[in-house]
A and B are shown apart, each in its own frame.
Chain A
Amino acid sequence: MHHKITMNAGALNAGLARREALKAGGMGVLSVAAIGILAGEPTMAKAAASSADADILNVALGLEHEAIAAYQIGAESGLLQKPVLDAAVLFQSHHKAHRDALIAAIGKLGGTPVAAKSTSDYVASLDIASVKSQTDVLRLARKLERGAANAYIGVIPSFKNVAYAQISARLAADETMHWTVLTQVLGDALPTQALSFGA
Chain B
Amino acid sequence: MMRLKTLATVLALAPSLLTPTAGHAAAPAGDPVHGQDIYESRCSACHSIDANRVGPAHRGVYGRKAGSAPGYAYSPALRASRVIWTEATLARWLTNPQAFIPGSRMGFQVAEAQDRADVIAYLKTQTAKK
Contacts and interface: CB of A to CB of B under 8 A. Distances in A.
A52 B55 CA distance: 16
A158 B46 CA distance: 16
Contacts of A58: 105
Given A147-B42, A150-B41, 9 more contacts: A29-B103, A48-B102, A59-B105, A63-B46, A147-B41, A151-B45, A154-B42, A158-B98, A158-B108
B42 A150 contact: yes
Given A59-B54, A125-B52, A147 B44 contact: yes
A149 to B, nearest CB: 8
Interface string B25-68: 00000000000000001101110100111110000000000000
Interface of B: 41-42, 44-46, 48, 51-55, 75-76, 96-98, 102-111
Q: In terms of DSSP, what is the predominant structure of the interface of chain B?
A: loop
Contacts of B46: 59, 62-63, 147, 151
Contacts, number: 74
B52 A52 contact: no
A125 B55 CA distance: 11
B109 A55 contact: no
Contacts of B48: 125
B53 A66 contact: yes
A18 interface: no
Contacts of A29: 103
Interface residues of A, number: 29
B51 A52 contact: no
B26 to A, nearest CB: 22
A158 B109 contact: yes
A52 B110 CA distance: 18
A52 B98 CA distance: 8
Interface in A3-58: 28-29, 48, 51-52, 55-56, 58
B116 to A, nearest CB: 12
B42 to A, nearest CB: 5
Interface in A53-108: 55-56, 58-59, 62-63, 66
